[in-house]
Structure formats: structure tokens, C-alpha cells
């Protein structure tokens, strides 16, 4: 009869501990069935599931392990696993896995407690918990306002009610100043290839049409039309035409002045730089204007830009746009077209936006992210980021802080 034994090692970490124990296992010709190791604040936790060959004796091996642990001042425990339990564990390997990502300026015990309670209520098992962000400084938030924290939780099983679980996560996010992403752990999650962005209030902090309206002295009128559209009294196309019409006669030099005032959203440069280093393609799909989209394309190295072309004649804005308006449905169509041109599936795409007209593209993308969006958009998007900058998107595709630093440094090195 074969023996299956779980060996659990814990204590102060230092080089050579894993080698010391596996060397003993090798002497007894054991098979490794499973293994996991974590180090938290220089404290090691190592688990090894071994099979003792038929006819071999486990007792000498256990004695040698105990002696080695005593010599190294490390704790070791043994737990026999019966064969039916092991076979049940093997049979469970086909279960779905999901990734839950917590993003915030600080991760608190209250946030983690609330999230893990929802996990438990849905009969999901937690397999792994990893920190993706760098080691936490003890500066307060005022001294370090751009602090970032992220942990990734891998769970196994099928939720009782996915919609109810997502709703519970959204409630926690709203109450506890944390973003919670819930994704299926598939091959597509780790192999996205295209990211498309809305521009205004997403890639940049401002709404360009409001800035142009201020230059034209029609800011209040444009804002009133925007409010009508938000209340559902006007569709996007009609509200857009009315707002652009109010810009008639604006000196084209005003576009240059507005461009100089543009501020990139927190984390935008870090995100785009890292994506480029990873070989991603990027696009701007905007209901704003090509003048500003093409400026960002040059500044950040964006691959595609689709926006509205503001008509200018004799050095003045005519109050019209050239060609079709880039509305919500057009954004979704453009996402499909770019994905087809790049030869990738929609599952390999990411879309990021903040407005209701971004929902169609957020809905068809493999990963749709509502960024600092209104409640309606957050509720209808697959994922949402409100607490961090745009570079929080990197955590949702599993990119650690140290990976980001390495990739950005490699980009800056001169190529031979």
C-alpha cells in the first residue's frame, strides 16, 4: 500500500531551507504530487505532498526530516492523506477558477474580511493569495497620495449566484473605498493583446468639448445640453451636434491653447509604456476630436486613433464635424474592426472608458473596465477602477509592480 503524506514546514526563511528538505526526500526516491511555498515578511511556509513508493517505509524519512528541522530551528508537521481523499482532490482539478483582485491606496483587514466572507458564502475555495503591488511604505496617505496596493486571490469552484456576488462586491467597493475585480482565470486573461481607450475623462483628465466651449464663451449652454443628454432627453448624436454647433466661429488657435492645458490621467504614461513593452497594441476610440487624439497618439505612441474630425474653414470652427459621429455603437464596431485587423479575438481585447457611450465597447471586450465612472456605468461594466490611476489596469492582467519597473527600464535602455 502506498502512503501519501503532506509535509508542512514553517519558520524563519533563509537560503537553502527548501534544498535541505528536498534533498532528504530525494534520498528516499519519493514522488512529489503537489508543492507550494510562500514567504511573508521573511517567514517561510512550505507544503509538499509526497507519495511513498509501495514497499518503502515512511518512518525513516520522517525521522530524518524531524532531525533536519531541529538542526535548522524550523517547525515541521506531517499529515497522512488517505487515498479516497487524494482522488477526490485530483477529481476537483477540472473545476473553474476565478481571480479576485483588490485594488486600493491601502488594503485593510476590513476590506479583505468583507470580500472573503462573500467568497465563503458562495462556497468558493481560496487556493492562493498574492501581492502584486510593491512592499508597503508606512507613510500616511497625505505624504504618499499616489500609493498603490493590490492583492490577487485565486479561488476555485462555481459561485452560487454570479450576479449576486458581483453586486455584493460592488457594495463593498462603494462602502470601503476599494475596487474589486472578478474574472474567470482563463488563458485569455493572461493573453490580452489590444487595449482601447476612451479619451476625455479617461486618458486625459478633462472634457475637451467643455474646454473649447469655455474658450468660445458658451460653457453654460454646452453644459445644459450635456445635462439633457445625461437625463436621457437627447441621444448622444443629437446632443453632440448641438454642442459642436455652439462652437461655430471659434478661432482655430483656441484648439492649440486647450491642447497645452491637457493633463494626462494619473498612471496613463506608466500604463501605455508597460503595454508597449509587453507588445500590446493600443487605440483611442473617442467621441471627442481627432485634433487632440492625434496629439496624444504622438505623445504616447498610440497605434490607432478614431475620433470626430472638427471642421475648420478659414481659420475658424464651422460648428460641424466631418464624417460619421463616433458614438457608442461606432466605438464597438471600431473595436471589432481593429481586433479583426490585428488577427485577435474579442476575448483578447480590453476596453477602458467612463461614460454611457462607452458601454457598448466595454460590453464586447474580453475585459471591459469602467474607469472613474458614474454609478450607472460601473454597475453595467464587467470591472471598475475608481481608487487608483489608469495603471491599475495592469493589476487586472496580473502584471506586478516589479514587472512594470523591469519593463519600463528595458524600454529606456539604448538598443544595440
Q: Is 3 an annotated catalytic residue?
A: no
Collect all residues with Cβ–Cβ distance below 8 Å to 26 and sequence separation of at least 6.
none
The H-assigned helical ranges of 250-400 are 253-261, 268-277, 290-300, 328-342, 359-364, 375-380, 393-396
Catalytic member of 3, 13, 179, 200:
200
The Cα 123–Cα 278 span in angstroms is 36
Q: Is 198 an annotated catalytic residue?
A: yes
Catalytic member of 13, 179, 198, 391:
198
The H-assigned helical ranges of 246-289 are 253-261, 268-277
The Cα 288–Cα 309 span in angstroms is 9
Q: What is the DSSP-derived secondary structure letter of residue 264?
A: B
Give the angle subtended at the CA of 135 by the CAs of 99 and 176, to the nearest 5°: 55
CA torsion, points 302, 306, 311, 315, in degrees to nearest 10?
Answer: 0
Using alpha carbons, list the distances in angstroms from residue 235 to 16, 199, 309. Answer: 66, 20, 19
The Cα 136–Cα 160 span in angstroms is 35
The Cα 366–Cα 355 span in angstroms is 18
Q: Which residues are catalytic?
A: 198, 200
Amino acid at each position: 500500500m502506498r502512503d501519501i503524506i503532506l509535509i508542512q514546514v514553517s519558520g524563519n526563511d533563509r537560503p537553502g531551507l527548501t534544498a535541505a528538505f528536498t534533498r532528504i526526500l530525494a534520498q528516499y526516491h519519493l514522488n512529489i504530487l503537489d508543492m507550494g511555498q510562500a514567504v511573508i515578511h521573511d517567514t517561510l511556509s512550505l507544503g509538499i505532498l509526497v507519495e511513498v513508493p509501495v514497499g518503502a517505509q515512511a518512518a525513516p524519512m520522517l525521522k530524518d526530516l524531524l532531525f533536519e528541522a531541529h538542526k535548522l530551528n524550523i517547525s515541521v508537521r506531517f499529515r497522512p492523506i488517505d487515498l479516497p481523499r487524494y482522488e477526490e482532490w485530483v477529481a476537483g482539478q477540472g473545476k473553474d477558477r476565478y481571480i479576485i483582485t483588490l485594488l486600493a491606496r491601502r488594503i485593510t483587514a476590513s476590506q479583505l474580511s468583507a470580500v472573503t466572507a462573500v467568497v465563503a458564502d458562495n462556497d468558493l475555495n481560496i487556493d492562493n493569495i498574492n501581492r502584486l503591488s510593491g512592499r508597503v511604505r508606512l507613510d500616511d496617505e497625505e505624504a504618499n497620495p499616489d500609493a498603490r496596493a493590490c492583492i490577487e486571490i485565486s479561488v476555485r469552484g462555481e459561485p452560487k449566484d454570479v450576479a449576486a456576488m458581483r453586486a455584493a462586491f460592488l457594495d463593498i467597493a462603494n462602502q470601503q473605498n476599494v475596487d474589486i475585480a472578478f474574472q474567470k482565470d482563463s488563458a485569455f486573461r493572461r493573453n490580452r493583446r489590444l487595449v482601447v481607450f476612451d479619451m476625455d475623462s479617461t486618458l486625459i483628465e478633462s472634457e475637451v468639448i467643455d474646454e473649447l466651449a469655455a474658450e468660445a464663451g458658451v460653457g453654460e449652454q454646452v453644459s445644459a445640453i450635456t445635462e439633457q443628454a445625461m437625463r436621457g432627453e437627447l441621444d448622444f448624436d443629437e446632443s453632440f451636434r448641438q454642442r459642436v454647433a455652439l462652437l461655430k466661429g471659434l478661432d482655430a488657435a483656441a484648439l492649440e491653447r486647450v491642447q497645452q492645458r491637457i493633463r494626462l490621467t494619473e498612471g496613463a504614461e506608466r500604463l501605455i509604456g508597460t503595454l508597449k513593452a509587453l507588445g500590446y497594441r493600443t487605440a483611442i476610440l473617442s467621441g471627442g476630436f481627432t485634433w487632440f487624439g492625434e496629439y496624444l497618439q504622438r505623445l504616447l505612441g498610440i497605434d490607432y486613433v478614431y475620433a470626430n474630425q472638427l471642421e475648420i474653414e478659414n481659420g475658424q470652427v464651422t460648428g460641424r464635424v466631418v464624417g460619421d459621429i463616433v458614438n457608442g455603437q461606432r466605438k464597438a464596431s471600431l473595436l471589432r474592426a481593429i481586433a479583426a485587423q490585428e488577427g485577435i479575438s474579442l476575448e483578447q481585447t480590453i476596453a477602458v472608458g467612463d461614460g454611457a457611450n462607452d458601454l457598448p465597447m466595454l460590453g464586447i471586450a474580453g475585459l471591459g473596465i469602467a474607469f472613474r465612472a458614474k454609478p450607472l456605468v460601473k454597475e453595467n461594466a464587467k470591472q471598475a477602477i475608481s481608487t487608483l490611476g489608469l495603471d491599475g489596469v495592469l493589476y487586472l492582467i496580473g502584471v506586478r509592480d516589479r514587472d512594470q519597473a523591469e519593463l519600463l527600464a528595458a524600454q529606456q535602455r539604448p538598443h544595440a
